[in-house]
Copies of this chain bind each other. A is one copy, B any other.
Amino acid sequence: MAQASLGDSEFDRDTAVTRRTPGTYTAVLSPGWSIIRALNGGYTLATAGRALSRALPHPDPFSITAHYLTPAAPGPAGIRTETVRTGRTVSTGTAALVQYAQDGTEVERLRVVATYGDLDDLTDEVRTSAKPPAIAPREECFRSSDAPGDIFADSTLLQRLDVRMDPATCGWAVGRPSGAGEMRGWFGLADGRDPDPLSLLLAVDALPPAAFELGVTGWTPTVELTVHVRARPAPGPLRVSIATRNLAGGFLEEDAEVWDSADRLVAQSRQLARAPRPKDLAAGARPS
């Protein structure tokens, strides 16, 4: 496949925003980024994040949080931003991504609050104690197309990603989850576009739920997702590791770490998600 370049790829086209008034943008959410029937939360966050990158005086999301209110659908969307504070090194803003019901009623999909800065202004100091995840070589990993058919049948997202899952963390796919609640994989965009801070917002939410490796294979809709982007990623494939430690009370958290080809920890995320309800499990885990 031809190598797409930064700014001219499926991801860039499908997260593009058009400025309408100061602080207000429109977008057209693409059907190409869905999991089961819902648009991926990392995709909608990246779209809102691109609007904030335009609205704020700093380009990169240092910390960005989204609360998911209603499921986003392919089609037109509006993004209203508010600049909360602008400083010399960082600025803070909010974004509301809205769509429209059949009768024209506005329905908000996600509410975002974020602090942006310029990753190029950061110091070179790295004292990270975290270590890159050990992942099997790419050629030994499972591709999405190897995955069991049912759950991925109408997940267009997977055609736009080049995700390769470490077989050691894919026991769930053959009915033998490890019980550890951890997964690891390689992440890239299918058209070969290199990662940038906005595509990291997608990378943290693109693997199957870590809960699958606990034997919990159902719909785990995200309530809230926070991403810290810590460095501009080097070109090349990313490594993503995800884990859940606290499945309780009908909710679970999922942490993700994203490492670039230069062994730099470029993003950390945590989300709070709903655990599948027993009736969801019985019904085949479709979103309502």
What are 7 A-B interface contacts by the 8 Å CB criterion? A63-B67, A70-B85, A115-B223, A125-B275, A127-B216, A129-B244, A231-B248
Instruction: State how many residues of chain A have any CB contact under 8 Å with chain B.
Output: 54
- Chain B interface: which of A17-25, A29-37, A264-272? A264-272
Given contacts A62-B223, A247-B127, A248-B126, contact A84 B113 (CB under 8 A): no
Known: A63-B224, A230-B249, A265-B246. A94 touches B94 (CB 8 A): yes
Contacts of A112 in B (CB 8 A): 113
Chain B residues with CB below 8 A from A62, complex form: 223, 251, 272
Q: Interface 1/0s, chain A 178-220, versus B by CB < 8 A? A: 0111000000000000000000000000000000001010000
Q: Is the CB of B248 within 8 A of A65?
A: no
Most chain B Cβ neighbours within 10 Å, of A127, A231, A268: A127
Determine whether the beta carbon of B115 is less than 8 Å from that of A67.
yes
Q: Are B84 and A69 in contact (CB under 8 A)?
A: yes
Q: How far is the CA of A111 from the CA of B115 in the complex (A)?
A: 11
Contacts of A224 in B (CB 8 A): 63, 65, 115, 226, 228
Instruction: Give complex CA distance A265, B253 in Å.
Output: 12
Given A113-B94, A115-B223, are A130 and B65 also a contact pair (CB < 8 Å)? no
Among B92, B122, B126, B272, contact of A63 (Cβ-Cβ < 8 Å):
B272
Smallest CB–CB gap between A83 and chain B, Å?
A: 11
